[in-house]
């Protein structure tokens, strides 16, 4: 052992600080010496997780793609590379790319686990110059991209993450500045939506449909009921129907003039965060009450909209009863629904369920005005294909040029 300690490197005449030191020469001039010591060096290099990080996640996820496997994969890398953290930047980028597949892209704990891959203390700047000139730029940019990934997915960091960032990059780093910005702005915008949606949406389709309908319904007296078409004999589609109707809407159906038809319109699209739903509306023509009201207020509106006439007395010459919220400009909304299949058959079953509480509906003719929710937007898909073909053509052309 003593002789080992005394042995100096032939080229640079340096001596390792301690015989147990893990430091090795990595200068390209000396690499051949390492090769001479270990003939399998190249093979070992290739075995490193870094070189196949994306496949590494796929291999780890042979059983299931969930949070547990993802955390296990990251921990395994950490155990393997505990000392040198070889290629941790590349590994962080690879794991960010794979997060959505494992459905952990909205999970703060997983982001913290990934941040744990950065070595502590090592990347801190030693002077204000280093701090301003972005010490360890690749690592800092990687951490900034991690924070941006969080922001894109609506994840707000917490204090622990801030302390972790201080431990890794220090308080003066560019990463920490980004964290500070996020901590200032994101909680401000978190509750700005006047039509709030829960952060984590339920997995059950019925619960989701309930949420979507409750959000769309303006009437505070709105009631949501769930039906299963298994009970109906006439229903061909065995699915669920979630229906929204208020007492006012029931009264509107009762007061429908005899012989007037109602329409089922849809499907329209509504969103709850990243989930979209197709909904249908039971509609009737505009009521007389709404028309009268519009005639009176419409006149007034024209007066008020022109700027110079606001001194005019705005007292109306006539009186009219204010219509309910359901009496919109383009018709009266009588009920809304979301069904499991969005088929015409399921809508027919919905009407049957509605007849129980709205007996007048059984005497009313119903017209189905159904269209695809993406009507007028289908051509986009075709255009997309054309674009893809064009890209392929371009690529081929490029290849032939480079080959020739």
Binding site residues, other proteins, CB under 8 A: 132, 152, 177, 181, 185, 188-189, 192-195, 212, 215-218, 268-274, 276, 279, 281, 283, 304-305, 307, 310-311, 325, 328-330, 333, 336, 373-374, 376-377, 380-381, 383-384, 387, 391
Could you tell me the CA-to-CA distances from 295 to 240, 285, 289, 322, 328 in Å, in that order?
42, 16, 10, 12, 14
- The smaller minimum CB distance to other proteins, of residues 16 and 154, is found at 154
Rounded Cα distance between 390 and 298, Å, is: 52
Q: C-beta of 347: minimal distance to other proteins in Å?
A: 16
Q: C-beta of 280: minimal distance to other proteins in Å?
A: 10
Locate all alpha helices (DSSP H) within 7-40, ordered by sequence.
31-37
Q: C-beta of 305: minimal distance to other proteins in Å?
A: 5
- The smaller minimum CB distance to other proteins, of residues 113 and 149, is found at 149
Closest among 105, 311, 332, 344 to 219, alpha carbons compared: 332
Q: C-beta of 329: minimal distance to other proteins in Å?
A: 7
Q: C-beta of 348: minimal distance to other proteins in Å?
A: 20
- The residues, any chain, with a CB within 8 Å of residue 360's CB and separated by 6 or more, are 253, 254, 256
Q: What radius of gyration, in Å, describes the C-alpha atoms of the chain?
A: 33
Q: C-beta of 295: minimal distance to other proteins in Å?
A: 17
Pairing of strands 262-272, 366-370: parallel
- The CA-to-CA distance between both ends of the chain, in Å, stands at 61
- The smaller minimum CB distance to other proteins, of residues 79 and 375, is found at 375
Q: C-beta of 133: minimal distance to other proteins in Å?
A: 12
- The smaller minimum CB distance to other proteins, of residues 304 and 397, is found at 304
- The smaller minimum CB distance to other proteins, of residues 13 and 307, is found at 307
The answer to whether the CB of 285 falls within 8 A of the CB of 332 is yes
CB atoms within 10 A of CB 356: 11
Locate all alpha helices (DSSP H) within 18-82, ordered by sequence.
31-37, 41-47, 53-60, 67-80
Rounded Cα distance between 286 and 332, Å, is: 6
């Amino acid at each position: 052992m003593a002789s080992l300690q005394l042995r100096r490197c032939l080229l640079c005449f340096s001596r390792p600080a301690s015989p147990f030191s893990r430091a090795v020469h990595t200068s390209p001039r000396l690499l051949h010496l390492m090769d001479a010591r270990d003939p399998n060096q190249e093979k070992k290099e290739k075995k490193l997780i870094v070189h196949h990080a994306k496949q590494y996640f796929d291999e780890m996820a042979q059983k299931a793609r969930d949070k547990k496997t993802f955390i296990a994969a990251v921990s395994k890398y950490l155990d393997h590379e505990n000392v040198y953290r070889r290629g941790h930047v590349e590994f962080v980028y690879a794991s960010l790319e794979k997060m959505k597949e494992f459905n952990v892209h909205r999970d703060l704990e997983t982001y913290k686990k990934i941040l744990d891959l950065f070595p502590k203390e090592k990347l801190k700047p030693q002077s204000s110059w280093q701090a301003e000139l972005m010490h360890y730029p690749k690592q800092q940019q990687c951490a900034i991209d991690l924070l941006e990934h969080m922001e894109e997915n609506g994840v707000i960091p917490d204090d622990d993450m801030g302390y972790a960032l201080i431990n890794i990059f220090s308080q003066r780093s560019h990463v920490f500045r980004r964290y500070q910005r996020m901590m200032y702005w994101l909680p401000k915008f978190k509750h700005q939506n006047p039509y709030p949606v829960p952060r984590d949406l339920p997995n059950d389709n019925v619960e989701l449909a309930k949420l979507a309908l409750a959000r769309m319904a303006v009437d505070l007296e709105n009631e949501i009921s769930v039906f299963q078409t298994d009970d109906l004999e006439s229903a061909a589609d065995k699915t669920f129907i979630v229906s929204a109707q208020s007492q006012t809407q029931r009264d509107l159906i009762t007061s429908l003039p005899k012989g007037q038809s109602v329409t089922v319109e849809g499907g329209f699209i509504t969103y709850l965060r990243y989930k979209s739903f197709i909904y249908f509306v039971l509609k009737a023509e505009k009521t007389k009450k709404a028309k009268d009201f519009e005639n009176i207020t419409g006149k007034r509106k024209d007066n008020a909209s022109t700027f110079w006439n606001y001194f005019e007395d705005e007292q109306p010459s006539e009186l009219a009863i204010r219509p309910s919220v359901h009496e919109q400009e383009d018709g009266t909304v009588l009920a809304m629904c979301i069904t499991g299949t969005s088929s015409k058959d399921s809508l027919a079953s919905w009407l049957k369920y509605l007849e129980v509480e709205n007996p007048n509906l059984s005497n009313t003719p119903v017209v189905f005005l159904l269209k695809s929710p993406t009507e007028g937007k289908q051509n986009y898909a075709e255009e997309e294909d054309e674009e893809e073909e064009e890209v392929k053509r371009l690529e081929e052309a490029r290849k032939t040029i480079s080959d020739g």
